[in-house]
């Protein structure tokens, strides 16, 4: 279902204008209850396989970037393999949050270059709505097409408003790509990658509850404390994102002896349009060399890069032979850039 910014005005203290001015987001998609990350991942995988002209039976490795798996364990990769009807193949789940797909691209490159795999399915999928601390009344009010959903009381309105700065950012989504070992000798595919992790700033963006640091990790009263809702220091994340993504992109290009002028398109993680605008300005790239679609989807974490790349291809912004860079930063703190010739 598509949920516009204005719908949040019914359930928390915010406005359409406030959200768009601070994030660039106008709307996002939420799945129906009972739809999990693997379900979205399967649909994305099928679309990618069809687009690539590859049969599911040809896939010999699945890499799944996911922050909101169907279960605490195991991850969603194996469920996707089963639902696709693929014979047992290695399935690797990556938990690098918003940078997950960038890390997945590196893993794909390593797997294929080493000969460990020939046809790799890389999926990014997340269902963030499953983490929202909303009651059924709130969901009814939020998703009602005519605005006549069940009304919420003042206490519930104030509870929802506690998390407005983070919950308005997210949407549900999935994207996928298929990679094959090249026998033609051209230079299409992944050309290089630069990835970084700094655990020293983990508290800038993390979920404090439901982990082994707590004993037991699930305790009475956790719902009321909001420990299982993502917590973010927005100023710190903004500062890091607008410096780290341009920095690592330039490092990657320099390491490959390429210049920024040779880049045809930059696709950044879609977390906040203000972040991407600032990163674009730092790099000095014109608008026709940057692609954003956060306006329609919000932050789908692991899925932002493949969804944006798909839409860039559809719009004729990423053509065969183009040099496309992907850059992302997420909780961990993880960040990186990957260069691919389409």
Give the residue numbers marked as catalytic. 98, 269, 299
In sequence order, the β-bridge partners of residue 64 are 93, 123
According to DSSP, the β-strands at 290-291 and 265-268 are: parallel
Cβ-contact 1, 29 below 8 angstroms: yes
Owner of token pair 């990835």: 195
- What the block records as the tokens of 267 is 């696709």
Q: Are 125 and 76 in contact (CB under 8 A)?
A: yes
Tokens of 269: 């993680």
Distances 20 to 23, 28, 51, 336 between C-alpha atoms, Å? 5, 12, 33, 26
Region class of 289: left (phi > 0), else alpha (psi between -120 and 50), else beta: alpha
Distance separating the N- and C-terminal Cα atoms of the chain: 32
Closest by CA to 272, choosing from 309, 235, 247, 307, is 235
Spatial neighbors of 315 by CB under 8 A, at least 6 apart, are: 291
In angstroms, the CA 304 to CA 300 distance is: 5
Core vs surface per residue 223-240: b (16+ CB within 10 A) or e: eeeebbbbbbeeeebbeb
Contact 177, 104 (CB under 8 A): no
Give the whole-angstrom CA distance, residue 177 versus residue 109: 13
Q: Token digits for 86?
A: 């693929």
- Residue 139 CA to residue 36 CA, distance in Å, equals 17
């Amino acid at each position: 279902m598509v949920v516009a910014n204005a719908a949040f005005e019914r359930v928390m203290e915010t406005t359409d204008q406030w959200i768009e001015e601070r994030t660039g987001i106008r709307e996002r998609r939420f799945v129906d209850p009972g739809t999990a990350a693997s379900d979205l991942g399967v649909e994305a995988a099928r679309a990618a396989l069809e687009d690539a002209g590859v049969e599911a039976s040809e896939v010999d490795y699945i890499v799944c970037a996911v922050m909101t798996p169907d279960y605490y364990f195991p991850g969603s990769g194996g469920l996707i393999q089963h639902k696709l009807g693929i014979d047992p193949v290695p399935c690797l789940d990556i938990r690098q949050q918003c940078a997950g797909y960038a890390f997945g691209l590196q893993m794909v490159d390593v797997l294929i270059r080493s000969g460990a795999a020939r046809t790799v399915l890389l999926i990014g999928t997340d269902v963030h709505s499953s983490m929202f601390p909303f009651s059924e009344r709130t969901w009814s009010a939020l998703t009602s097409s005519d605005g006549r959903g069940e009304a919420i009381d003042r206490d519930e309105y104030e509870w929802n408003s506690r998390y407005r700065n983070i919950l308005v950012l997210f949407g549900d989504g999935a994207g996928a790509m298929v990679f094959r070992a090249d026998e033609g000798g051209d230079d299409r595919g992944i050309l290089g990658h630069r990835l970084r992790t700094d655990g020293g700033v983990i508290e800038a963006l993390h979920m404090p509850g439901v982990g082994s640091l707590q004993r037991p990790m699930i305790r009475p009263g956790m719902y009321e404390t909001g420990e299982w809702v993502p917590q973010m220091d927005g100023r710190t994340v903004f500062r890091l994102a607008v410096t780290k993504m341009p920095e690592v992109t330039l490092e990657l290009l320099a390491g490959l002896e390429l210049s920024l002028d040779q880049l045809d398109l930059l696709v950044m993680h879609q977390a906040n349009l203000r972040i991407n605008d600032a990163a674009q300005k730092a790099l000095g790239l014109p608008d026709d060399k940057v692609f954003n679609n956060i306006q329609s989807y919000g932050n789908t974490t692991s899925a932002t890069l493949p969804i944006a790349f798909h839409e860039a291809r559809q719009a004729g912004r990423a053509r065969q032979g183009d040099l496309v860079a992907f850059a992302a930063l997420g909780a961990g703190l993880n960040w990186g850039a990957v260069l691919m010739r389409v």
